[in-house]
Chains A and B, each alone.
Chain A
Amino acid sequence: MMFKVENLNFYWDKKNILFTDSTFNIKKERLTTIVGRNGSGKTTLLKILCNLIKPVKGDIFLNNIKIDKYKPKELAKILSYVEQDFDKNIPLKVIDILKLGTYPYLSILYNNREIIDRIDKAIELCKLKDFLQREFNKLSTGEKQKVILAKALCQSDSVILLDEPTSFLDIKNEIEIINLLRDLVTNHKYTVVMITHNINLSYQYSDEIITIFDKKIETHNKKDLLDPIILRKIYDVDIKKIEYKDSVIFYY
Chain B
Amino acid sequence: MSIKIKIQYLILLSLFILLLFLSLISIAIGSKSIPIDKILIEIKNYFIYPNAESIEQKIIINLRIPRIILAIFVGGMLSVCGLILQTIFKNPLVEPFTLGISASASFGVALAIFISDFFLKIRIPFFPFSLISGILGVSIILLFSLSKNISIYTIIFIGISISYFFNALLTLLLSLLGNRSYDIIIWMFGSFSIIPSRLVIILFIFFSLIILIVLLLFHKELDLFYFSEDVIKSMGVKLNILRTILLGLISFITIFSVSFCGIIGFVGLVIPNIAKLIFYRKHNILIMASFLMGGILLLISDDIARSLVSLFSDYGKELPIGVITSIIGVPFFIYFLTKREKI
Contacts and interface: CB of A to CB of B under 8 A. Distances in A.
Most buried by B among A52, A71, A89, A133: A52
Contact of A83 (B226, B230, B281, B342): B230
A109 to B, nearest CB: 15
Interface stretch (A18-26, A100-108, A235-243): A100-108
Chain A: interface size category = 20 to 34
B234 A91 contact: no
A175 interface: no
B236 A92 contact: no
B58 interface: no
B178 to A, nearest CB: 51
Chain B: interface size category = 20 to 34
A224 interface: no
Given A91-B281, A103-B220, 17 more contacts: A52-B230, A73-B236, A76-B234, A77-B236, A79-B234, A83-B230, A89-B226, A89-B342, A91-B342, A92-B280, A92-B281, A96-B223, A96-B282, A100-B220, A101-B235, A106-B220, A137-B342
Given A91-B342, A106-B220, A76 B230 contact: no
Interface string B1-14: 01000000000000
B38 to A, nearest CB: 47
A81 B235 CA distance: 8
A76 B226 contact: no
B201 interface: no
A137 B282 CA distance: 14
A90 B226 contact: yes
Contact of B235 (A74, A96, A103, A137): A103
A228 interface: no
Nearest to A155: B235
Interface of B: 2, 220, 223-224, 226-228, 230-231, 233-238, 276, 280-282, 342
A135 to B, nearest CB: 9
B6 to A, nearest CB: 14
A72 B230 contact: no
Given A83-B228, A92-B281, A103-B224, A133 B2 contact: yes
Interface in A26-65: 47, 50, 52
Interface of A: 47, 50, 52, 71-77, 79-81, 83, 85, 89-92, 96, 100-101, 103-104, 106, 133, 137, 155
A100 B236 CA distance: 12
A96 B286 CA distance: 15
10 contacts: A72-B238, A76-B235, A77-B236, A83-B228, A83-B230, A91-B226, A91-B276, A96-B223, A100-B226, A104-B235
Given A91-B226, A91-B281, A92-B226, A50 B234 contact: yes
Most buried by A among B234, B236, B281, B282: B234
Name the 4 nearest CB pairs between A and B, nearest first: A76-B236, A73-B236, A81-B234, A91-B281
B224 A52 contact: no
B230 A47 contact: yes
Contacts of B227: 90, 100
